[in-house]
A and B are shown apart, each in its own frame.
Chain A
């Protein structure tokens, strides 16, 4: 099962963002749209709160647009959360989407996302029950909505796959500028709040903005962010251990059932053939990974043996830019004995390859990874390459 595999952070790191699936695109896109909608909601909220109005733009229009934008924003956040969980690229369950800071994958930045989601839900619920809970409680919770904005932004910067993309940076900068302007407007016109509190809020806004900008500059916008973004120490240690394993001898404790296959086997070690298609068979093996080079490129190697097919190794090598906790695949190769082919798809723990063996064969490899040992197990299904 794909989702079972991705509850393991190591697997998530291994089977990094190939970026090939619709769900994963949807997750990233809905996140960006949500922050734009959240910004617009906040700005309209300020317009309504300040009481700005003209002949052609009565105050109830600001209110209604504010409310409708906020509902749309919630919808997009919902899509963002659901696609993230279903996609399974990152090990996040529905519980992680609501309870902050318990995910082992980038706990802080995903946690902020969960926190922001909780705040939005609180605002949604209190607004729906406004007439029951009374103005005071509603207003208190609604003030917290301001907090959800920087939280959402840091979440996006810290965990977003697309953070370094110029267009995303531009959108985030524009939202920040607009929200800051709206906030300043609110603070300078707020009648009900004492001047000291408004000044404090203004200073806090500037400090938070500078802090976020600084964070972005030294954090997500520099290489190797995924290694520094708080993915659990155990996972990082494991990565380091595997890196050591690729340069030195395989660890003595390597389980016998999972022989090390840290490099693709040389040619001619076997004249082994793939079973006749169609077939499904068990496989075992081991995964290793290199540390990112100066450009942030990493290479993940899956060394495997089919259970009932001699000793011929099946090796898959995934190469690409490290990104979002995994790898943004630039190329993937597969070898089986003397045959070779290429990786054509990656979705969570499922790798799809096309091999000339010697005729075209499609291989679908479904993997589960033991986080402690790096051992792989799973199934490989072969079908005629003419099928797809």
Chain B
């Protein structure tokens, strides 16, 4: 039995560049020159999953989703 793996997915249509996600998860998210998030890393490290979930909940546009990676 293996631990579930996750990735972060941005809905770029919904995203309006509020930047809350980068405030809450600077380990994985930086902002481009226009304030839109750039996700670093294909997979959320296990230690960051809770913080990543927190970031998805705090997105004002519900544009960030934590998606389970099917293996």
Contacts and interface: CB of A to CB of B under 8 A. Distances in A.
Touch between chains A and B, by CB atoms below 8 Å: yes
B62 A134 contact: yes
Contact of A63 (B14, B58, B61): B58
Interface in A112-144: 130-131, 134-135, 138
A135 B20 contact: no
A233 B57 CA distance: 51
Given A130-B62, A135-B62, A60 B14 contact: no
Interface of B: 14, 18-20, 23-24, 57-58, 60-62
Nearest to B35: A51
Given A51-B18, A135-B14, A59 B62 contact: no
Nearest to A51: B18
A135 B61 contact: yes
A60 B58 CA distance: 7
25 contacts: A48-B60, A49-B60, A51-B18, A58-B20, A58-B23, A59-B18, A59-B19, A59-B20, A59-B23, A60-B20, A60-B23, A60-B24, A60-B58, A63-B20, A63-B58, A63-B60, A64-B58, A130-B62, A131-B57, A131-B62, A134-B62, A135-B14, A135-B61, A135-B62, A138-B62
Interface in A126-180: 130-131, 134-135, 138
For B14, B19, B24, B60, which residue has the most chain A Cβ atoms within 10 angstroms?
B60
Interface in A30-69: 48-49, 51, 58-60, 63-64
Contacts of B58: 60, 63-64
A126 to B, nearest CB: 12
Nearest to B14: A135
Nearest to A131: B62
Contacts of A59: 18-20, 23
Contacts of A130: 62
Nearest to B58: A60
B16 to A, nearest CB: 8
For A48, A51, A134, which residue has the most chain B Cβ atoms within 10 angstroms?
A51
Interface string A59-87: 11001100000000000000000000000
